[in-house]
A and B are shown apart, each in its own frame.
Chain A
Amino acid sequence: MNEEELVEYFRTQMRTDPDMASAVAAIRTLLEFLRRDKGETILGLRESLKWATDCLTEVDSSVAVSSGGELFLRFISLTSLEHQVRAIHSHRLLHIHSEKNVGQSSLKASPPPPCLSQDLSRCKKVMEERGELFLEKISLSRTKVAKLCHTFIKDGAKILTHSSSRVVLRVLEKAAAEKKRFTVYVTESQPDTAGKQMADALRRLNVPVTVVLDAAVGYVLEKVDLVIVGAEGVVESGGIINKIGTYQMAVCSKAHNKPFYVVAESFKFVRLYPLNQQDVPDRFKYKADTLRTVSDLSDEHPMIDYTPPSLITLLFTDLGVLTPSAVSDELIKLYL
């Protein structure tokens, strides 16, 4: 599968299901890449998957695609580790057995076991099966998050949210389905005015919604009861990376003592530990086209910002309701 096919497959996935998260589309593309891969070794497979992930990040530079790619790579390592051990073990057993029978030829170097190449295709088959299961599970994650979060929305609540997030939309859908009455304030979210799309989607659900200017967040906060935002990435410290303007909203919520909730699926957990805004890598801050065409980035406007964990009250993920300190625990369990 070459670069154009890869990018085309990814774009098709995003087009056919606009509701799909970009990380899920990336993982689906990588799974297809795995299926079509003709490599002979696990190492070669990892190399080509890394290359494929790089190609995808050039198309869509968001944090989510990068975290999805890393997660898939980790998935491959874990599965291949399980199977390699078995391969070596069975090889040793074969060898010991043949030693017992033959005896004299122990000085000769042992020939490569015939089962190893069959093992690779078996390993790949297991990877494909598990990959499909993994995709099935993560497609359910938004529903799990919505189930956890909607109980925090009380009747008569006024909610503030930022820009357009499909997870937040799902949570609000679930709350509306539970016959709760609430009003929503959405920030317009320049420069792409994504907030208007969110407002349209909410109007279709018959939820009273008001679009406010990004600068009006402080003004509106005294009226709201809680703030719910999505996340493009959840970093190791428990903080989040999200559309520009989220940090401002978090600081204002802290000043007004309003709870600041984040809803994110678990595949958005990423291995970054920024200490301030500067630490977030440039490749995430700007769109892929900008990175390619512009040489001096200091004139460009970043598309995302980092919100530290001290400003976040709770994170709702498909792994449960987490405090920011629990996020690093989860990442450690996976990567170490």
Chain B
Amino acid sequence: MPGADKEADLTERIEAFLADLKRGGCGTGPIRGSGETARETTALLRKVTAQARWSSAGDLMEIIRKEGRRMTAAQPSETTVGNMVLRVLKIIREEYARSRGSSEETDQQESLHKLLTSGGLSDENFRQHYVHLKANVIEAINELLTELEGTTDNIAMQALEHIHSNEVIMTVGRSRTVEAFLKDAARKRKFHVIVAECAPFCQGHEMATNLSKASIETTVIADAAIFAVMSRVNKVIIGTQTVLANGGLRAVNGTHTVALAARHHSTPLIVCAPMFKLSPQVVITTVVRNRIILSKVNVHCPVFDYVPPELITLFISNIGGNAPSYIYRLMSELYHPEDHDL
């Protein structure tokens, strides 16, 4: 039966995705960039919406939540998966509200105003069935996918405003977003880039090779030299794994060092991060990977660093530049507070 085949195909794809996620968190860094993960997740969720059996928005949200929980459990450090699930849930809520005809305002966040004026305790249970809900949700998810595909280009387009000729830029490790950002500026400006190698996986080496292929003058330095070199640097531009709700970062190990050194020298720290990296979490649990380098010694090798919002000057995302204190606002536009714990 074609229906059963489609369902089997769907579950197969989900299993393959989960296996990929589980494997992806090994020492040498993720197999795929987070942009790819976000796109895969969204495409998968679109398939689930199209093929799973559901009659009301509430059922669909339950199904998506269930799949979301499985996916985040497979690789807890990859937050983009969870973020995309929350985006899709918000899309479903919005489309449901639109189908009901209620204005956008009524289903907004908790606010003092809402506390005072609402007529009753809202028990929105999303039980009503609307014929066009499925089509609307799938269309909105397609829009989300288009947005995701354009994020790196949108960020790179802003490069010329921030990078000027003869500047010395410092970056840490390897970030595809920062690479595109710098390459875009290099088309019109001449500047120098210093890359901190980011031991022990030394992803900075790959970044330096790619940048020099684009004819950008690049220098690789050891992590210990970051503070020493910082006095010569005009700007620090870094990528990140996640942007937290308070404006802080969860970035590759060594970023906090760079941020502190930049603060000491009053050098601006710019973070290039697309919106899908914004996560509603505030508490971070450090991910520690154990790797036996020497046989008798246990080496703790944390993969990520927490950078507090006070050390960051500017966030450049696909929707423009923002201050860290504004991140909470962007988050309220992307996700609904009731979905924050999946």
Contacts and interface: CB of A to CB of B under 8 A. Distances in A.
A-side interface size class: 20 to 34
Interface in A316-336: 318-323, 325-326, 329-331, 333-334
B89 to A, nearest CB: 17
Contacts, number: 65
A134 B328 contact: no
A75 interface: yes
B112 A333 contact: yes
Given A78-B117, A329-B329, A320 B112 contact: no
Interface string B88-123: 000000000000000000000111110111111100
A330 B326 CA distance: 13
Contact of A320 (B120, B283, B337): B337
B39 to A, nearest CB: 29
Given A78-B117, A134-B115, A325 B282 contact: no
A15 interface: no
B328 A330 contact: no
B267 interface: no
A326 B112 contact: no
A189 B118 CA distance: 40
Given A320-B110, A325-B328, A266 B115 contact: yes
B111 A137 contact: no
B123 to A, nearest CB: 13
Given A78-B117, A134-B115, A319-B111, A314 B282 contact: yes
Nearest to B245: A321
Contact of B116 (A78, A151, A320): A78
A326 B246 contact: no
A159 B328 CA distance: 26
B118 to A, nearest CB: 8
Contacts of B121: 133, 136-137
Contact of B326 (A136, A151, A321, A325): A325
Given A314-B246, A329-B329, A319 B117 contact: no
Contacts of A320: 109-110, 337
Contact of B328 (A78, A151, A267, A326): A326
Nearest to A319: B110
Contacts of B112: 71, 266-267, 269, 319, 330-331, 333-334
A152 B283 contact: yes
A74 interface: yes
Contacts of A266: 112, 115
A251 interface: no
A267 B116 CA distance: 10
B154 interface: no
Nearest to A266: B112
A129 B337 CA distance: 27
Contacts of A137: 115, 121
A321 B245 CA distance: 9
Interface string A232-254: 00000000000000000000000
B82 interface: no
A319 to B, nearest CB: 5
B68 interface: no
A183 interface: no
A151 B283 contact: yes
Contact of B329 (A78, A82, A326): A326
B204 interface: no
Contacts of A330: 111-112
B110 A75 contact: no
B325 interface: yes
A149 B329 CA distance: 20
Nearest to B327: A323
B247 interface: yes
Contact of A79 (B115, B117, B120, B247): B117
14 contacts: A71-B112, A74-B116, A78-B117, A133-B121, A134-B116, A151-B283, A318-B110, A320-B109, A320-B337, A321-B282, A326-B328, A326-B329, A331-B112, A334-B111
The 9 closest A-B pairs by CB, nearest first: A334-B112, A325-B325, A75-B116, A334-B113, A319-B110, A326-B328, A333-B111, A333-B113, A78-B117
